[in-house]
Amino acid sequence: MTPMLAASLVSGLAVGAMYGLLALGYHVTWVVSRSVNFAQGSVMMLGAVIAFSLAVSGGWPMPFAIAAALIGCAGFGVVLERVAVRPFRARGSESWLMATVAAGMLVENAAMFLFGKEPRGMPSALARHPVMLFGVGVLPLHIVILLAGLGLAGLFLLATRATPYGKALLAVVQNPRAAQLMGIDAAKVTVFAYALSSALAGLAGVLIAPLTNVAADMGFVFGIKGFAAAILGGLDNPWGAVLAGLLLGLAEASVTAFAGSGATVMASFGLVILALYLRPHGLFGRAEARKV
């Protein structure tokens, strides 16, 4: 493998892991409530903006700034579920779809107003000195991002299979009424799912910011690509969502390396459409059997 391709693939894996984290966020709310948070991209931006504001402008130590950003994003998820999702789902309406899109735009514009429209550089000790591995410069942050993406997918899978709370999460979507009769508070579980999903998006924002920059409009394209990864991997499959994110990142990096970045979006979304044409339920998803 040429150093150029190897270096591009390292970047592709890092960006792909971020798509994966966002996709995992889409998956979490989908499996619990059959709804998704289309403000994921904006929440990702929110995480980066809060961490930047506290660490750089406010002088907080970075770990505290990151923790506050994740708590802030989770809190936003709770509010979003209460305001933009629950009222519509309670009436059997699908308008949560538009409501979450609108909430995302609201957050983005508020960030432009409060944070400014100028991109800022997020400092990170992990993105300063590359380590040369087989002639390829790899930043410690690349490795952290990849481990975070895969580790969180693994943790989520483990939690939903092996812990009572995780099982409760999945029980709600299988049969909310039965779950409630078993003492599971479906509303609380859904709120938790939205908080978790938003925290994952916030984490993606915090992790990717030092590799790109922090800007009020940084989340939009990431949000779309994260959703593409979630659909590609199968919304019901956490591993699928993360792996599809990685695949999408790698595909983009390869296209950029060989055909230039002008072709990246065309080629990567073309591949997504082709993959869904061949496997309508996603690369790792399964057709859902419905009893009638």
Partner 1 sequence: MTLSAIVRRFMFGASRALAPAALAFAPHFAGAAEPAPVPVGLVAALSGQSAASGEAITRGLSVAIAEINQAGGVLGRPLMLVRRDDESNPGKGIAAARELISREHVAAFFGGIDTPVSIALVPIANKEKTPFLGVWAAGTGITHNGANPNYVFRVSAVDTLVDQRLLRYAVTIAKAQHPGLMLIDNPWGESNHAGLEAAAKSAGVSLAGAESFESGDTDMIAQLTRLKAAGADAIILVGNAAPAADVIHSLDRMGWNVPVISHWGISGGRFPELAGPSAEKVAFVQTYSFFKSSPKGEAVLAELEKTYPAIKGPQDIIAPVGTANAYDAMHLLALAIAKAGSTEGPAIQAALEALPSYDGLIKRYAPAFTAANHDALGADDYIMVHFAADKIVPVE
Binding site for partner 1 (CB under 8 A): 2-4, 7-8, 11, 15, 112, 116-121, 128, 130, 132, 137, 139, 211-213, 215, 221, 253, 256-258, 260-262, 264
We find the least distance from the C-beta atom of residue 132 to partner 1, in angstroms, to be 6
DSSP 10-33: HHHHHHHHHHHHHHHHHHHHHHHH
What element of type H or E holds 190? helix 186-208
Q: Which is nearer to partner 1, 186 or 207 (CB)?
A: 207
Encoded amino acid at 18, one letter: M
Answer for the pair 42, 235: CB distance below 8 angstroms, yes or no. no
We find the least distance from the C-beta atom of residue 90 to partner 1, in angstroms, to be 36
We find the least distance from the C-beta atom of residue 148 to partner 1, in angstroms, to be 18
Q: What is the DSSP letter of 132?
A: E
- Give 160's contacts (C-beta < 8 A, 6+ positions apart): 31, 166, 167, 169, 170, 238
Q: Which is nearer to partner 1, 18 or 80 (CB)?
A: 18
Distance CA 71, CA 182 (A): 30
Q: Which is nearer to partner 1, 94 or 118 (CB)?
A: 118
Q: Which is nearer to partner 1, 11 or 42 (CB)?
A: 11
We find the least distance from the C-beta atom of residue 7 to partner 1, in angstroms, to be 4
We find the least distance from the C-beta atom of residue 268 to partner 1, in angstroms, to be 13
For residue 122, which of 217, 219, 55 has the smallest C-alpha distance?
A: 55
Q: Which is nearer to partner 1, 2 or 93 (CB)?
A: 2
Segments of the chain assigned E as strands: 131-133, 136-138
